[in-house]
């Protein structure tokens, strides 16, 4: 089968490799390079994998542009495969291929339609998640579903670890669906009207912690869900720091929310609206990642030198 593959993020790489090992990939469409941390190019995992596989890489600024659509359809794909691409494909592109367009989506649709399904599943405390292989249509992740696969969410799962697991699972399901499509034996089931939720793009505001508003469980979910972007920002002894790691702990009768209740080795236990959160690693403004105790020692040492 002749495919055009559209993807950008690391989630899409196993699906790309699976397609390339079994089908003819006419081209890989990915987002153009952009500036990342400290002006360096942001990672483009799909572009790197495609070049490693010797595939043609296309980086249109807007995939819905008329000339781009015409060029892609001119490649004669039997099917478009889309995974974590980052732009909405127009119906003018997804409808003409004989087998349509197939999307690998990291949720159990119709739950968590949208751009950030993995993070939102962790934020919500979902017990399970999975992947859905969907036939694309005009709506946002509204198309009928060819196949789903479910997995439990580990209580300590982070967005990066869960992404890696779901990426492999999605690639496996995609292979099966493409085989059925090629044989004319695939059946897509419309999504139910009940249970629809949305997972919009994350912003810096999602990562702000107010100890008096958020519980220890909610802080923990934020820290695990918002890696690597946008990260979690919380005040510790008057300084806003990024929390990199920690977990909820028991606190019988604690101080007011936001107050450091105790130390545990190099960690600090901070009271929250409900319970306490042990902060294990932080990144202070303009500094490297360190333990909170090391940060406080350095801060107090600086104050004594003044």
**Hey, what are 151's tokens?**
């997995």
Q: What's the rounded mean pLDDT across residues 223-232?
A: 96
Specify whether domain 204-305 bears CATH 1.10.760.10. no
198 Cβ partners below 8 Å, 6+ apart?
112, 113, 114, 140
Look at residues 73, 107, 266, 99 and name the one whose alpha carbon lies nearest to residue 180. Answer: 99
Instruction: Give start-end residues of each CATH 3.40.50.170 domain in the chain.
Output: 2-183
Range from 27-31, 146-150, 302-306 carrying the lowest mean pLDDT? 302-306
- Token pair recorded at residue 227: 């890696």
pLDDT, position 25: 98
Find the range with the poorest average confidence among 71-80, 215-224, 292-301: 292-301
C-alpha–C-alpha distance, residues 134 and 145, integer Å: 4
By DSSP bridging, strand 145-152 and strand 260-264 are unpaired
C-alpha dist (Å) from residue 18 to 5, 156, 162, 171, 176:
11, 29, 19, 6, 11
Residue written as token pair 């890989």: 28
pLDDT at 306: 55
Higher pLDDT, 225 or 43: 225
DSSP helix/strand/coil, 225: helix
Tell me the pLDDT tens digit for each residue of 26-77.
999 999 876 554 555 566 899 999 999 999 999 999 999 999 999 999 999 9
> Beta strand pairing status for 267-271 and 260-264?
antiparallel
| Average model confidence (pLDDT) across the chain | 94
Using CA atoms, how far apart are residues 28 and 36, in angstroms rounded to an integer?
A: 22
Domain ranges in the chain with CATH number 3.10.25.10: 204-305
Would you state the pLDDT for residue 34? Answer: 63
Residue 148's pLDDT is 98
Please tell me the predicted confidence (pLDDT) of residue 304: 57
Residue 158: the pLDDT is 98
Closest CA to 143 of 188, 111, 206, 93: 188
Res 144: pLDDT: 98
* Residues 6+ away with beta carbon under 8 Å from 261: 251, 254, 255, 269, 270, 271, 276
149-203: per-residue pLDDT in tens?
Answer: 999 999 999 999 999 999 999 999 999 999 999 999 999 999 999 999 999 999 9
**3-state SS, residue 105:** strand
Measured from the Cβ of residue 245, the count of other Cβ atoms closer than 10 Å reads 16
Which listed CATH number (3.40.50.2300, 3.90.180.10, 3.40.50.170, 3.40.50.80) goes with 2-183? 3.40.50.170
Dist CA 85 CA 175 (whole Å): 18
Measured on CA atoms in the order 4, 9, 11, 13, is the torsion positive or negative?
A: positive
pLDDT, tens only, 248-289 = 999 988 799 999 999 999 999 999 999 999 999 999 999 999
Per-residue pLDDT tens for 239-254? 999 999 999 999 988 7
**pLDDT tens-digit profile of 285-296?**
999 999 999 998
Distance of alpha carbon 86 from alpha carbon 149, whole angstroms: 23
Residue with tokens 């081209």: 27
Residue (of 134, 136, 31, 130) closest to 85 by Cα position = 31
Residue 45 per-residue DSSP state: H
For position 32, what pLDDT does the model report?
85
pTM comes to 0.94
Question: Which candidate, 63, 93, 56, 60, places its Cα nearest to that of 77?
Answer: 93
Is the pLDDT at 80 greater than 70? The verdict is: yes
Find the angle CA(231)-CA(288)-CA(262) to the nearest 5 degrees. Answer: 75
């Amino acid at each position: 089968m002749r495919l055009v593959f559209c993807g950008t993020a690391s989630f899409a790489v196993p699906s790309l490799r699976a397609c390339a090992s079994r089908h003819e990939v006419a081209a890989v469409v990915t987002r153009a390079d952009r500036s990342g941390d400290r002006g360096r190019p942001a990672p483009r995992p799909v572009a790197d994998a495609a070049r490693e596989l010797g595939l043609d890489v296309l980086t249109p600024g807007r995939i819905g542009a008329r000339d781009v659509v015409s060029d892609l359809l001119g490649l004669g794909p039997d099917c478009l495969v889309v995974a974590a691409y980052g732009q909405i494909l127009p119906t003018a592109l997804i409808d003409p291929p004989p087998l349509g367009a197939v999307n690998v989506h990291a949720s159990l649709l119709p739950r968590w339609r949208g751009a950030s399904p993995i993070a939102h599943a962790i934020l919500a405390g979902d017990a399970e998640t999975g992947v859905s292989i969907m036939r694309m249509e005009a709506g946002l992740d509204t198309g009928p579903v060819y196949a789903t696969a479910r997995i439990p969410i580990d209580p300590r799962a982070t967005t990066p670890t869960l992404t890696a697991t779901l990426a492999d699972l999605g690639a496996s399901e995609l292979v099966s669906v493409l085989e059925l499509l090629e044989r004319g034996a695939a059946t897509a089931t419309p999504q139910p009207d009940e249970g629809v939720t949305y997972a919009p793009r994350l912003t810096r505001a999602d990562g702000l912690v107010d100890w008096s508003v958020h519980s220890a469980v909610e802080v923990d979910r934020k820290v695990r869900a918002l890696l690597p972007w946008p990260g979690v920002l919380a005040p510790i002894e008057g300084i806003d720091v990024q929390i990199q790691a920690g977990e909820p702990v028991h606190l019988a009768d604690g101080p007011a929310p936001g107050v450091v209740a105790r130390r545990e080795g190099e960690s600090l236990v901070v009271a929250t609206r409900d319970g306490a959160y042990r902060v294990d690693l932080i990144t202070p403004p303009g500094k490297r990642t360190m333990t909170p105790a090391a940060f406080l020692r350095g801060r107090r040492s600086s104050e004594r030198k003044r």
